[in-house]
Structure 1
Amino acid sequence: MTLSPTRVRVLVAALLAVSFLGALDHTVVSTSLATIAGDLGALEHMSWIMVGYTLAATVMLPVLGKLGDVVGPRRVFVVSLVMFLVASLACGFAPDLGWLIAARVLQGLGSAGLQLMSQTIVARVTTPRQRPRYMAVIGAAFPVAIVVGPVVGGLITDYSSWPWVFWINIPVGLVALVLALTAIPRLPGGAHPRFDVPGSLVFTGSLLALILAVTWMGDETLRPAAIVCAVAAALGILALVVIERRALAPILPPRILRNRTILVCLGLSLVVGAGLFSVVAYIPTYVQMAYRTSATVSGLVPVATVLGMLVSSLLTGWLVSRSGRYRLYPVTGTALAAAGLFTMALLPAGVPLWAPMAVMAAVGIGTGAFTNLIFAVVQSAASRDDLGAVTATTNLVRQVGAAVGTAVVGGVVGFSVAAALPSGLDAATLTPAAVRSTPEALQAQVGLVYHDVFAPVFLGLALVYACGVVIALLLPAERLSDEMPAPLPEPVDRQPA
């Protein structure tokens, strides 16, 4: 479907606004987490305020992607936005933790639909050549939210009340809803009106069990539950194979996994999840301990990373839209990020803080060169019937990579630090503030421990990106088309022969 340039700009503005809302909601709440949990009397369970949101946003991706292909992305987008706004209102009125977690699950579900359908709608109304530029603009919501979110959350918590952390979504979301209803055309569903309900249920349950198993495995008290979840995930995957082989319209069409370009993009998405998100999650702790800085100063390093990622993503999207050639950017991006993380592993203790900031900015630049580009590439390789499914799969692989990478890095750091700390210090209760209250010599020892523990972690993540270089080299040397794809055929209900 061809849209006028003005309508495309309004559409992209609406999609950017809702993508920013979804990304901001995760980062803005993190700053207010302790205050919210304390007011509700549930400090020991406060992690579920974040976990419930993340799990819902992850496990529902394939279901929402397929649903968008069946009924059309506009309907799923509008329903997701309304659900997100209603859930935001409910979060602010939560009288207890159970209410808040349930509302956060609905928020996560709505956020997943917004993110996914934004990418799918762009793919349906633009040519493959145009997509990198628009994907980069919409993808800018994530790095901007990482920088802005904690500041906004802190200001709201300090100068207002925590319900406004959620209610701030409503005025922006209503404006975005009006823009979306005006600018998003009525996009039809695909040629497969059947929806794979059994496959969706089994896939969602199996993925949920897998993520919980990975998340809980590092906690001794939760390890038995993690083992049960791992077994359930394995059985669920086996059952899913049987169900999907018989399904008329499987939730994850096998044909998309037989395409070389799609497989390469999925591999690169896994690299982004496992390589970048895990290091961004733990690098503030590394800086606070190894460099003995405050929490505020430690945030400068991940900020440098995401700003590098933002600039690189926008520049790459513009360049690819001009030439149509894309293979160079994933290859050079993964190589630059691998070199940056390798340099982080080699940095000696005691170097000025600007050194890791500059190096991690280079990692961000390398990752930004392909992190949003791969969505445009993978969509150009898929049929119109599978745009939602292939976009969802690419997002899902990234989320799973982030969950696994974060869990592995967290486990390695926790175990190694506990084993290497000087006697008299307990890793379970060690905080940056507690370390700063100890004698100078002991602070230096703790800093050296964290430096030595993170060096192999950086090296391992550099190897992840090095594998990404090999994967990127498998991309075909093609150009993105400047022609609109053929319109979808009228939906037909395909009966088994």
Structure 2
Amino acid sequence: MNLSPLRIRLLVAALFTVSFLGALDHTIVSTSLATIAGELDALAHMSWIVVAYTLASTVLMPVIGRLGDTVGARLVFLVSLAVFLIASLACGFAPDIGWLIAARVVQGIGSAGLHLMSQTIVAHITTPRQRARYMSVIGAAFPVAILAGPVLGGLIVDTWGWPWVFWMNLPLGGAALAFAAFVLPHVESGAARGRIDVLGAVTFAIGMVALVLAVTWAAEPAMAAPAVVAGVCAVAGFAAFLAVELRAGHPLVPLRLFADRRMAASTALSAIIGIGLFSVTAYLPTFFQLAYRTSATVSGLVPIATVFGMLVSSLLSGWLVGRSGRYRRFAITGPLLAAAGLAAMSVLPLGLPLWVPMALMALVGVGTGLFMSLVVAVAQSSAPRSATGAATAAVNLVRQIGSTVGTAVIGGVIGTGIARLVPASAGLTPHEVHAAPAAVQAEVAAAYAAVLGPVFGALALVYAAGFAVALLLPPGRLSDEQRDVVPPVRGDAVSQAAGRPSLEETP
């Protein structure tokens, strides 16, 4: 599709705006969680305000990706934005926790559509080389939301009340909806209209819900038996999903895509980002409050440094790939830098100035950002046009699953480890620890360092595995012609099945 550079930039700005709203909603609500749950008298169910949103968006990702390929990315995008805005309105009017959780489920579905279809639309209206640059802009919505969410959440709750955390989506989202309805082009995916794989959707949902319950309950000794049952159900659900997808005429996730090693490697790298970085960022403030004895405000500087490094390097790598088309070097260098930063964090002695861990975690962010958005562009370029939505969904899905599982596992390790080393610390807040005698503070700090050190080391190994995976990417350049893709490996089964001409690899 030939669009003028100005129109492409306007479209990308609109897509960034709505992607930012979806990402911001997650971070801003997390900041306001205690206030919302307290006013609704539902502190015991507080976590489900976040879990309902995340789980709904994860479970529906394959379905939404398939819908984008069959009925068109434009229609799915507009409907998703409308659903997101209606659900935001309903969240603000929630009289009780049940209403709010139900509205958050709907809002999460809309958010998934916004995120996936923004990336899919960019893939349809740009060349592969342009795609790397613009995908980094769309991908910047998440780190920007992480930086802005906590500040905005606190300001809105203190000034206007928690309903405005959700209602703030309406004016900006409404304007974006009106703009997109008029200027968003109709893009044809080329996919044949067919039935949605309902059985595949059901088996995946069963596996995913059971997996979340298993990793959540695993951290609670009293829930050991239910966790095992949920784990067995998760394995059975995903096994059934794979069996269904292999036989389905119109699968949610065409498994033949993974015969292309660019798609397989990109998907694995995306999962590594979820496991290696997104899973640990939630625990960084607590670690620095107790191990380095900082205030809550100061502890937030470390994740901010991480996210800022990720934002800068993502935009830089997208711009450089947009100029040269060379992508492999960033996918190889990024995991190495992140692994080095996490390995240094695993052996970092206590008592050093805070700028030292800030610099190391910024290095982790820089390494992650180098390939964070790039892997989406490479995966899209490796898939036939008729499966762009499915490829986009697959890459995002494994990242989300990796983050969900990794977060639960790390939380369980920290909880059991600290309880074992310092039993008296159970129930103590950082403020209470800071007010305790120096010996108690030192004991808690040493315990957190002893528990988190191996966690950082394990995550460094995850990124080292990412380096090995990146080596599987074939050399080449992203094409500057819309009809072309990343040069496929000779004999590429997916390319042949899609009827694309084979191109020679560019050195």
* Counterpart residue type for residue 307 of structure 2: V
Unmatched 5+ stretches in structure 1 = 490-497
- Normalised TM-score (structure 1): 0.95
Contact 2:276/2:463 (8 A) holds in 1: yes
Question: Which moved further from structure 2: 245-254 or 90-99?
Answer: 245-254
Q: Give the Å deviation of 1:183.
A: 2.3
- Deviation sequence 1:366-418 (CA, Å, 0-9, x none): 10000001111111110001110111000010011111211221111111111
The equivalent of 1:429 in structure 2 is: 427
Unmatched 5+ stretches in structure 2 = 486-497, 500-507
The equivalent of 1:40 in structure 2 is: 40
The equivalent of 1:140 in structure 2 is: 140
* Counterpart residue type for residue 86 of structure 1: I
Question: Which moved further from structure 2: 205-214 or 454-463?
Answer: 205-214
- Deviation sequence 1:147-170 (CA, Å, 0-9, x none): 100100000111111100000000
Q: Give the Å deviation of 1:189.
A: 4.5
Structure 2 CA distance for aligned equivalents of residues 212 and 51 of structure 1 = 10
Counterpart mapping for 1:291-306 below 5 A: 291-306=292-307
The equivalent of 1:469 in structure 2 is: 467
The equivalent of 2:343 in structure 1 is: 342
The equivalent of 2:457 in structure 1 is: 459
Contact 2:52/2:104 (8 A) holds in 1: yes
Q: Give the Å deviation of 1:216.
A: 2.1
Q: Give the Å deviation of 1:472.
A: 0.7
Contact 1:72/1:190 (8 A) holds in 2: no
Greater RCO (Cα-Cα under 8 Å, separation 6 or more): 1
What SS does the aligned partner of 1:185 have?
coil
Q: 1:379–1:353: structure 2 CA closer, same or farther, 3 Å change rule?
A: same
Q: Give the Å deviation of 1:138.
A: 0.7
What SS does the aligned partner of 2:193 have?
coil
Contact 2:76/2:113 (8 A) holds in 1: yes
Identity fraction in percent: 60
Q: Give the Å deviation of 1:191.
A: 2.7
Q: Give the Å deviation of 1:486.
A: 7.4
The equivalent of 2:65 in structure 1 is: 65
Question: Which moved further from structure 2: 189-198 or 112-121?
Answer: 189-198
Contact 2:191/2:387 (8 A) holds in 1: no
Contact 2:425/2:444 (8 A) holds in 1: no
Contact 1:73/1:117 (8 A) holds in 2: yes
Structure 2 CA distance for aligned equivalents of residues 5 and 192 of structure 1 = 30
Structure 1 CA distance for aligned equivalents of residues 410 and 36 of structure 2 = 28
Structure 2 CA distance for aligned equivalents of residues 436 and 317 of structure 1 = 43
The equivalent of 1:123 in structure 2 is: 123
Structure 2 CA distance for aligned equivalents of residues 53 and 189 of structure 1 = 28
The equivalent of 1:151 in structure 2 is: 151
What SS does the aligned partner of 2:427 have?
coil
Contact 1:61/1:396 (8 A) holds in 2: yes
The equivalent of 2:493 in structure 1 is: none
Q: Give the Å deviation of 1:237.
A: 2.6
Contact 2:189/2:387 (8 A) holds in 1: no
- Deviation sequence 1:332-374 (CA, Å, 0-9, x none): 1110110001111121110010110011111100100000011
What SS does the aligned partner of 1:60 have?
helix
Structure 1 CA distance for aligned equivalents of residues 239 and 466 of structure 2 = 29
The equivalent of 1:495 in structure 2 is: none
* Counterpart residue type for residue 105 of structure 2: V
The equivalent of 1:231 in structure 2 is: 232
- Deviation sequence 1:452-477 (CA, Å, 0-9, x none): 22111111111111111111111101
Contact 2:217/2:223 (8 A) holds in 1: yes
The equivalent of 1:50 in structure 2 is: 50
* Counterpart residue type for residue 378 of structure 2: V
- Deviation sequence 1:36-80 (CA, Å, 0-9, x none): 111111111111001100101111111100111111111110110
Structure 1 CA distance for aligned equivalents of residues 463 and 76 of structure 2 = 34
* Counterpart residue type for residue 247 of structure 1: A
- Deviation sequence 1:2-47 (CA, Å, 0-9, x none): 1111211111011000000000000111111111111111111111
* Counterpart residue type for residue 468 of structure 1: G
Q: Give the Å deviation of 1:427.
A: 4.0
Structure 1 CA distance for aligned equivalents of residues 375 and 257 of structure 2 = 15
The equivalent of 1:402 in structure 2 is: 403
Contact 2:310/2:362 (8 A) holds in 1: yes
Q: 1:427–1:65: structure 2 CA closer, same or farther, 3 Å change rule?
A: farther
Structure 1 CA distance for aligned equivalents of residues 348 and 247 of structure 2 = 54
The equivalent of 2:199 in structure 1 is: 198
What SS does the aligned partner of 1:485 have?
coil
Question: Which moved further from structure 2: 82-91 or 440-449?
Answer: 440-449
The equivalent of 2:387 in structure 1 is: 386
* Counterpart residue type for residue 299 of structure 2: S
Question: Which moved further from structure 2: 35-44 or 210-219?
Answer: 210-219
Q: 1:41–1:245: structure 2 CA closer, same or farther, 3 Å change rule?
A: same
Structure 2 CA distance for aligned equivalents of residues 456 and 84 of structure 1 = 40
- Normalised TM-score (structure 2): 0.93
Structure 1 CA distance for aligned equivalents of residues 387 and 102 of structure 2 = 31
Question: Which moved further from structure 2: 215-224 or 38-47?
Answer: 215-224
Contact 2:23/2:141 (8 A) holds in 1: yes
The answer on 1:81 being equivalent to 2:81 is yes
* Counterpart residue type for residue 431 of structure 2: A
Structure 2 CA distance for aligned equivalents of residues 162 and 249 of structure 1 = 43
Contact 2:87/2:107 (8 A) holds in 1: yes
How many residues align structurally? 486
The equivalent of 1:367 in structure 2 is: 368
Structure 1 CA distance for aligned equivalents of residues 466 and 259 of structure 2 = 20
Contact 1:11/1:179 (8 A) holds in 2: no
The equivalent of 1:245 in structure 2 is: 246
Structure 2 CA distance for aligned equivalents of residues 390 and 255 of structure 1 = 11
